[in-house]
Amino acid sequence: MKLAIFFVVFITAALAAPQQDPKQATIIRYENDNIGLEGYNFAFETSDGTSRQEQAELKNVGTENEALVVRGTISWVAPDGQQYTLNYIADENGFQPSGAHLPQA
């Protein structure tokens, strides 16, 4: 019985703990690879549950159709505790986001 009470108190305390202030978030992972004029890669993750990764490449190099193609993902935790993820592509066709939380056309 004492063990059950301990778990109830522990879980209640954990749920009642204030959420981390985004202004106090720290970077827990960071990667960056600048591969020059042909593109780049980077990724980071913060202690508040935010993460982002992005990669870009130059396609059709030296031609009239040369274009930078950027692909990425951003994830964050909203104030209500909901996790959101936004995937995107940006290329010669513009910015094209997708995510379960976005309205569908």
**pLDDT tens sequence across 59-75:** 988 889 888 899 999 99
- Is the per-residue pLDDT at 38 higher than 90? no
- The pLDDT of residue 20: 59
pLDDT band at 39 (very low <50, low <70, confident <90, very high): confident
- Is the per-residue pLDDT at 95 higher than 50? yes
Instruction: Return d(Cα 54, Cα 88) in angstroms, integer.
Output: 9
Distance of CA 49 to the CA centre of its chain: 8
- The pLDDT of residue 4: 39
Q: Are 76 and 84 in contact (CB under 8 A)?
A: yes
- Please give the share of the chain, as a percent, with pLDDT higher than 70: 79
**What's the first-to-final CA gap in the chain, in angstroms?**
54
pLDDT band at 22 (very low <50, low <70, confident <90, very high): low
